[in-house]
């Protein structure tokens, strides 16, 4: 995501400057730690993430009628810290060796150490939000709690070929959409906008977050490790059956029989991926992502009109279009 493109789309002319300020805040937030915690944290923080959640925090503050002040910038940094911390933990769970194009902490320093680094990052986020307001601290805690619930739902269906669509949707709502919702809500809360506006921005974030995870799940099947900066095909390899596969099983359940082999053998995995393309379920999954995009657009309908509201409305479709192109 090019910063100039985003700044134009969202009508946030100072976006590049604000993102630089957030980088400084990320670094500052963990400096009290020891090198064993700080160095691997910095490696992942600066690995090259899209910074989508902080951008949403800034954009939500302004689209809600507020301004980007110190509290909003701090809130944006906190959201990225929760995101990075949760990725550090996620890579342990998913046995992933790369993230943002760099070696994961579980792969380099070991999983036991990665647990501590993840906790350290989450605690840095908590400290920031406690200084913004009680409300902000509660928003952050709720998001982390939802993340645990969503991830544990996923874990409980690992290697389960009868995983239901409902269970999939509940899992991604918790593990991903909740943090995107919190990114928007925290921006609004830190900028002290009205409660109804905060709720509308939260609904927008939830719907965008659902679309976002569905797109990530599609890319896991269709993209390459080099493009993603993380191991492609890993969901299937780890027994996480996501939307395209669940749609495929819904059409022809005999494909479920190839799952044990797909986890072991790259040839069977490639055949299953090819089948998701040929059968059209990738397109169906993309359509479901676009349904969530439409919901996100509708959620902002009642906000007072502004260039920034129009920009935020355009963001989910722009993101999904360019990511799936």
Contact at 8 Å (CB) between 181 and 201?
no
Contacted entry of Mg ion, ligand IPE, none for residue 314, CB cut-off 5 to 8 Å set by kind: none
Judged by beta carbon, residue 53 or residue 309, the one nearer ligand IPE is 53
Contact at 8 Å (CB) between 244 and 276?
yes
Give me the 164-183 binding string for ligand IPE, x by CB under 6 A, dash otherwise: -----------xx-------
- Only segment of 28-36, 84-92, 138-146, 300-308 that touches ligand IPE (CB under 6 A): 84-92
Q: Is 49 in the site for ligand IPE (CB under 6 A)?
A: yes
Binder to ligand IPE among 109, 173, 216, 297 (CB under 6 A)?
A: 216
Contacted entry of ligand IPE, Mg ion, none for residue 198, CB cut-off 5 to 8 Å set by kind: none
HSE-CB for 184 with a 13 A CA cutoff:
28
Interaction site with Mg ion (CB under 5 A): 90, 94, 216, 220
As given in the structure block, the two tokens for residue 59 are 């954009």
Distance of closest approach, residue 236 Cβ to Mg ion, in angstroms: 11
Contacted entry of ligand IPE, Mg ion, none for residue 55, CB cut-off 5 to 8 Å set by kind: none
**Residue from 204, 199, 209, 141 nearest 169 by CA:** 209
Contacted entry of Mg ion, ligand IPE, none for residue 50, CB cut-off 5 to 8 Å set by kind: ligand IPE
Residue nearest to Mg ion (CB): 94
Which chain residues interact with ligand IPE by CB under 6 A?
49-50, 52, 83, 86-87, 90, 94, 100, 175-176, 213, 216, 220, 230
């Amino acid at each position: 995501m090019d910063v100039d493109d985003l700044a134009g789309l969202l009508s946030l002319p100072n976006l590049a400057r604000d993102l630089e300020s957030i980088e400084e805040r990320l670094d500052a937030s963990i400096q009290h730690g020891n090198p064993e915690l700080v160095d691997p944290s910095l490696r992942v923080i600066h690995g090259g993430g899209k910074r989508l959640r902080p951008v949403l925090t800034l954009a939500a503050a302004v689209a809600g009628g507020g301004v980007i002040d110190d509290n909003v910038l701090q809130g944006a940094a906190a959201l990225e810290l929760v995101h990075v911390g949760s990725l550090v933990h996620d890579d342990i769970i998913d046995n992933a060796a790369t993230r943002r194009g760099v070696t994961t902490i579980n792969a380099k320093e070991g999983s036991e150490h990665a647990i501590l680094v993840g906790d350290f990052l989450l605690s840095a986020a908590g400290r920031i939000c406690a200084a913004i307001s009680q409300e902000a601290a509660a928003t952050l805690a709720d998001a982390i709690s939802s993340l645990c619930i969503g991830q544990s739902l996923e874990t409980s269906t690992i290697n389960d070929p009868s995983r239901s669509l409902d269970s999939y949707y509940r899992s991604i709502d918790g593990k991903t959409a909740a943090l995107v919702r919190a990114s928007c809500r925290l921006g609004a809360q830190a900028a002290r906008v009205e409660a109804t506006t905060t709720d509308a921005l939260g609904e927008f974030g939830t719907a965008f977050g659902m679309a976002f995870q569905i797109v990530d799940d599609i890319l896991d099947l269709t993209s390459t490790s080099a493009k993603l900066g993380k191991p492609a095909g890993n969901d299937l390899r780890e027994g996480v059956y996501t939307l395209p596969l669940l749609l495929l099983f819904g059409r022809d359940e005999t494909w479920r029989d190839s799952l044990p082999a797909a986890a072991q053998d790259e040839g069977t995995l490639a055949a299953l991926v090819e089948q998701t393309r040929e059968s059209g379920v990738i397109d169906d999954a993309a359509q479901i992502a676009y349904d969530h995009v439409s919901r996100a657009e509708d959620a902002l309908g009642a906000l007072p009109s502004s260039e920034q509201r129009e920009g935020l409305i355009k963001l989910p479709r722009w993101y999904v279009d360019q990511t799936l192109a």
